[in-house]
Structure 1
């Protein structure tokens, strides 16, 4: 573990740069150091101070960036997500990997000072509605950063002859303004062009690869796709991490439903609903839970019963799976 002097130096640097996440991370490292040395009361006081300070920091202290203007305004939407890691229902291995991304970003300065880059280029792939966009929102919220959503389908259709220069604008922002940058519907840009004579599309993809390779580790760049199989193979080695999303299993489905309904589902058994949740995405489950809640509330009940949920899930399966 680093010496106390190094910790204090890191705290001063993070405070000077306005990086609250890094500041608190180092403070907790000091608490762990003190606990290891048997100073449990001091360690507890430090942890309590960190928790109290985090709760006291208003959302207005989140890094605020001006709304994009000019050409960039047509390509990028800015938001400040409110969804946290505890709201994200994913398999344990994905949750572990996301926590590692957060840890590296929170300590990025210490890593960069020693010649290591934190994970900052992520490819999220999997079926629609399985949590890819929500993951980007969670990373932005947990790091107290704004999220920039780049819609490549609009970029390609509006600026086909100028897309490479527009991409440069986006990556200039990545370098100059710290944030989480989500390239949504990435298939529009990243599809394999082998055997395709559309030269402009190939040049656009090559430009993206160059920009991604040089992307600043100060920001997090995320590409989300529903169609991994059609992506150009050259893309995968340019990302630091590729996360694969799947539809939730029965246990995860129950967690999604409970998270959405909260006290409305209290006392209602969600056991053995696998036949009704199988094949549904996270988004489908949320919609079904909301439909069940509205049905219960509109008839004057304070809780959602099992029949409400089964009926809503069956209707959602019929609509989604045909």
Structure 2
């Protein structure tokens, strides 16, 4: 089968699938074409051993990514930047011919639950490679020097093989050195800065923080790209509802429901949608209504407030 016929089959398949489910046609085309042109992500079983802590605990976990960019609701600016980064990763050789390298060190900053960690997984999915997540519980040690050694091992590991490496809550290591009275953490911050400076692999290293203002000023300069995440706008909430409820029959007042969900994170809205879908299935309901979402939102918000999330 020639390349033109193959592409025609991919497009036809995506169009057929698009008629069955109201999801993004562009996303389906990307996934269908990508699946034909790349290997399946490696699994833990056929990879080199992961780095270990001084206590012999794994410093990272390796997993096959399952989330695509089509599953995320991002601002136009962020989505554009991520597409550009993926394009650079797919054309490393072309850039190298001109003495250029792709952006490899990304910092994602914003409130919890706004899609930062899932972005790392979606980029790995798009590239068809595994996702390596740093295990903070194993990295951070109470013993002098161990935490710094653990970070060195992780970044050395990141340079070998092909994967996306995700550092969540990097502010734990990279807070303002001048404001810290803990000598060990100042040393860790210095080591991390140096390791990022020396990092030469084309693999993506993605760090996330919920507290960007607390990062050492020098840390920002070590990243090739910084992307900011925020709680979804009401227009984005409407898109998020369509994505999360797409497998169910629903007819809701978007203006009313989006207003009720305003101020919540992407993750919290997804939890509300999951609540509604579970109740719908167990009740044998044929449709999801505005009232279903409003009730679930009110219940969730009440629990969040009692837990201390909302004040006043």
TM-score by length of 2: 0.82
> Deviation string for 1:152-198 (max 9, x for gaps)?
35412355531222111111111112211111121210111214332
Question: Could you tell me which of 162, 169, 172 is aligned with 1:178?
Answer: 162
Please list, as runs of the form range in 1=range in 2, the aligned pairs for 1:26-41 lying within 5 A after superposition: none
Task: Name the structure 2 match of 1:257.
Answer: 241
- Residues 137 and 160 of structure 1: CA distance in aligned 2, closer, same or farther (over 3 Å): farther
Aligned-residue offset at 1:304: 1.2
Partner Cα separation in structure 2 for residue 47 and residue 208 of structure 1: 45
Task: Name the structure 1 match of 2:191.
Answer: 207
Aligned-residue offset at 1:43: 8.8
| Larger mean Cα displacement after TM superposition, 297-306 or 79-88 | 297-306
- Residues 160 and 74 of structure 1: CA distance in aligned 2, closer, same or farther (over 3 Å): farther
> Deviation string for 1:288-318 (max 9, x for gaps)?
0011112222221122111101111122222
Partner Cα separation in structure 1 for residue 217 and residue 51 of structure 2: 34
Aligned-residue offset at 1:117: 1.2
Aligned-residue offset at 1:144: 0.8
| Larger mean Cα displacement after TM superposition, 210-219 or 278-287 | 210-219
- Contact map agreement 1:125 1:243 (CA 8 A) in 2: yes
Give the structure, 1 or 2, with the largest relative contact order (CA under 8 Å, sep 6 or more): 2
Q: 2:44 aligned with 1:68, yes or no? A: no
Partner Cα separation in structure 2 for residue 259 and residue 54 of structure 1: 21
Task: Name the structure 2 match of 1:134.
Answer: 118
TM-score by length of 1: 0.80
Partner Cα separation in structure 1 for residue 48 and residue 10 of structure 2: 29
Task: Name the structure 1 match of 2:28.
Answer: none
Aligned-residue offset at 1:220: 0.4
- Contact map agreement 2:231 2:263 (CA 8 A) in 1: yes
How many residues were matched structurally? 280
Please list, as runs of the form range in 1=range in 2, the aligned pairs for 1:150-169 lying within 5 A after superposition: 150-157=134-141, 160-169=144-153
Partner Cα separation in structure 2 for residue 159 and residue 113 of structure 1: 46
> Deviation string for 1:96-131 (max 9, x for gaps)?
111011001111121123211101100011000000
Please list, as runs of the form range in 1=range in 2, the aligned pairs for 1:1-322 lying within 5 A after superposition: 45=5, 47-48=7-8, 54-56=34-36, 61-64=40-43, 65-68=47-50, 70-71=52-53, 73-157=57-141, 160-320=144-304, 321-322=309-310
Partner Cα separation in structure 2 for residue 118 and residue 57 of structure 1: 21
Aligned-residue offset at 1:86: 0.8
> Deviation string for 1:33-89 (max 9, x for gaps)?
xxxxxxxxx995574377776444686x32443451543752101111111111111
| Larger mean Cα displacement after TM superposition, 258-267 or 234-243 | 258-267
- Contact map agreement 1:192 1:233 (CA 8 A) in 2: yes
Partner Cα separation in structure 2 for residue 159 and residue 286 of structure 1: 39
- Residues 217 and 161 of structure 1: CA distance in aligned 2, closer, same or farther (over 3 Å): closer
- Residues 177 and 73 of structure 1: CA distance in aligned 2, closer, same or farther (over 3 Å): farther
Task: Name the structure 1 match of 2:24.
Answer: none
- Residues 135 and 164 of structure 1: CA distance in aligned 2, closer, same or farther (over 3 Å): same
- Contact map agreement 2:51 2:59 (CA 8 A) in 1: no
- Give the secondary-structure state (helix, strand or coil) at the position aligned to 1:110: helix
Choose between structure 1 and 2: higher helix proportion.
Answer: 1
Q: Which runs of 4+ in 1 moved over 6 A?
A: 49-53
Q: Mind listing any 5+ residue stretches in structure 1 that lack a counterpart?
A: 1-41
Q: What do you get for the CA RMSD once the two structures are aligned?
A: 2.4
